[in-house]
Amino acid sequence: MNLHKLYEIQGGLDYRIHEKFSLQAKDVLMERLLAFLVELGEAANDWRGFKFWSENKEAKETLLEEYVDGLHFILSIGNTLLEMDLISKVPLQLSALKQDNITEQFLLVYAATMHLHESIQYDGHVAYWYASLFETFLGLGELLGFLRDEIEAAYMEKNAENHNRQDNGY
């Protein structure tokens, strides 16, 4: 997965949205964090593995798409943190940080997101928590069975769809 390329591509979409709605990146950082958590929840819902009350445990076909929606926001958050000088560079070499099971991994990603939120609020270790969030998210992708090349291809497809949505007044 070429993260440098993905950050640039995401930056293009973010710029377009900022221009269209007269926004500054710093003005929507918290909304991006919340949007990421929403997408993470949608991915968990499509995974279905936590639904102990349900007989249907099979993951939905849209799981990769929901996962990639989360990737869009992680990249966008990184670009925003860089623009706000809260980090000096975006991480380009990341390893996957994984738990033993997928439920624990989802919870770890949620926790890393909240630690990042707190670090932004209180000026502490933002780069560390952003990298941790990304690594736990990559670990989630691996546990869900996604290959990085597969994730990147799905990201590119979804990014094109997001540009089309902007063209059509989404």
Domain ranges for the chain, please list them.
3-167
pLDDT for position 26: 85
What is the band of 81 on the pLDDT scale with cuts at 50, 70, 90?
very high
Per-residue pLDDT averaged across 104-116, rounded? 97
Beta-carbon contacts of residue 112 (< 8 Å; ≥ 6 apart): 129, 132, 133, 136, 137
Does residue 123 surpass a pLDDT of 80? no
Amino acid residing at 164: N
pLDDT at res. 104:
96
Helices (H), 22-147: 29-47, 63-83, 102-121, 126-143
Contact 50, 103 (CB under 8 A): yes
Mean pLDDT (whole number) for 135-139: 97
Instruction: Report pLDDT for 121.
Output: 93
pLDDT, average across residues 52-62: 87
Residue 106: per-residue pLDDT: 98
- 8-state DSSP, 26: G
Over residues 30-50, the pLDDT tens digits come to 999 999 999 999 999 999 999
Q: What is the CATH number of domain 3-167?
A: 1.10.4010.10
Average pLDDT, the chain: 93
pTM of the predicted protein model: 0.93
How far, in Å, CA of 87 to CA of 147, rounded? 28
